[in-house]
Structure 1
Amino acid sequence: MSIRVAIADDQELIRDAFARILDAEPDIDVVAEAGNGAQAVDAVRAQRPDLLLLDIRMPVMDGIEAARRVCASTTTRVLMLTTFDEDEYVYESLRAGASGFLLKDVRGPQLVDAVRVVAAGESLLAPAVTTRLVQQVVSLRPATGPEADALGVLTAREREVLRHLGRGRSNAEIAADLVLSEHTVKTHVSNVLTKLALRDRAQSVVFAYESGLIRPGADG
């Protein structure tokens, strides 16, 4: 079964370039294109794609609000298109439910791999970029409220796993650090996401910082 993709970007050249790259793959079909956030939401509701490639800055409705609406009302996964100077926008996109972010100057093979990874249910988070992002944004936000309170539903081991998720680590890396099998780590990750009602690993990164479990500058 093919991965059905929608592309939303106000720059037609970028939409066309991404569509050509993805349509050339035998397991990917571009089923819709949109030039603004409102069109993106309508396209997702009409076509129900598996994944939406979504630009952050667009007219009529920006990508953050579009991501929030898509993630709240559909099962379509969202992969944000961004540039390095949009940290806070990326952070808000993750909070809205996006499964990761991709730089607009991405090369073709990396674009294809990213679509496959996110469509398969994983998140696309580069640890170095994620760390820089939360250092600059989350450190300005107090660790209070429902996120901090919700940590009480986790076991000590699950909190440990969440801390590693917040650092952008893979299951294999977590298993090595905690001396556990990858299968056990996968079970802990699933429990964490379920107990905290998180959509995926991307939201776990945001949660780990907003809850105060990780403090920017203190947890390398």
Structure 2
Amino acid sequence: MTIRILIADDNSFIREGMKIILSSYDEFTVVEMVENGREAVDCCIKGQVDIALLDVRMPVMNGVEATKLIREKTEVLPIILTTFDDDEYILGAIRNGAKGYLLKNTHPERIREAINSVVNGTSIIQDSVLEKIRESLVMDERPRLKFNPEPFTERELNIMESIAKGFSNKEISERLFISGGTVANHITSILNKTALKHRTQIAIYYLTGNV
């Protein structure tokens, strides 16, 4: 199956460079390139897109706002493409349903793996992005909840910790010596207990107590 990708970035150099990188892989086809979030949403609504690769800082509509509308109105899976100084947008993107978080200096093979993982149902957050989230939360002086482990089994807590460290379902199954299906079942249980929507929100909840 060819994965159809939209690239949204107001920097034409980034757009063209990313198109060249992604087009070098047989499983990807770049079907649209736009320069703001509004155009990205419109293209996704029209169809023919599987993955929306979104910058966060764009004119007209940023990537966080675009992510929310894309998730509400389409089946397209949004992935945020960010830089270190964009961390203030990342928590908003998580709440809005972004499925991945990549840095613009990410190695092409890592981008490839991340896109394929998202298509196959796994949310991706890089360790460096997760660290920026931690730093932002530490610096944030608003009242913060303390994570409450009581509703969760020991196995669920182990899985939540592994998710917070950035491990994939496959890596978690290998670390805990359980099947991938068992990992998925525990994650479903965690989501049901917390009313969260996906594994990246589990990571934030585990680290901060906030949803």
**What corresponds to 1:20 in structure 2?**
20
SS at match of 1:129: helix
**1:169 to 1:112, Cα distance in 2 relative to 1, 3 A:** closer
Conservation of the 8 A alpha-carbon contact between 1:95 and 1:206: no
**What corresponds to 1:203 in structure 2?**
201
**1:212 to 1:157, Cα distance in 2 relative to 1, 3 A:** farther
**1:38 to 1:187, Cα distance in 2 relative to 1, 3 A:** same
Q: CA deviation at 1:14?
A: 1.4
**What corresponds to 1:185 in structure 2?**
183
Conservation of the 8 A alpha-carbon contact between 2:84 and 2:132: no
**What corresponds to 2:36 in structure 1?**
36
**What corresponds to 1:8 in structure 2?**
8
Structure 2 gap segments, 5+ residues each: none
**What corresponds to 1:133 in structure 2?**
132
Q: CA deviation at 1:102?
A: 1.2
TM-score where L is the length of structure 2: 0.83
**1:16 to 1:122, Cα distance in 2 relative to 1, 3 A:** same
**1:187 to 1:44, Cα distance in 2 relative to 1, 3 A:** same
C-alpha separation in 1, matches of 2:210 and 2:15: 39
- Give the percent of matched residue pairs that are identical in Structure 1 and Structure 2: 34
Query: Of 132, 139, 162, which residue of structure 1 is paired with 2:160?
Result: 162
Q: What amino acid sits opposite 2:204 in the alignment?
A: V
SS at match of 1:75: coil
Q: CA deviation at 1:177?
A: 5.5
Q: What amino acid sits opposite 1:57 in the alignment?
A: R
**What corresponds to 2:100 in structure 1?**
100
Conservation of the 8 A alpha-carbon contact between 1:97 and 1:203: no
**1:3 to 1:98, Cα distance in 2 relative to 1, 3 A:** same
**1:64 to 1:212, Cα distance in 2 relative to 1, 3 A:** closer
- Count how many residue pairs are aligned between Structure 1 and Structure 2: 209
TM-score where L is the length of structure 1: 0.80
SS at match of 2:58: coil
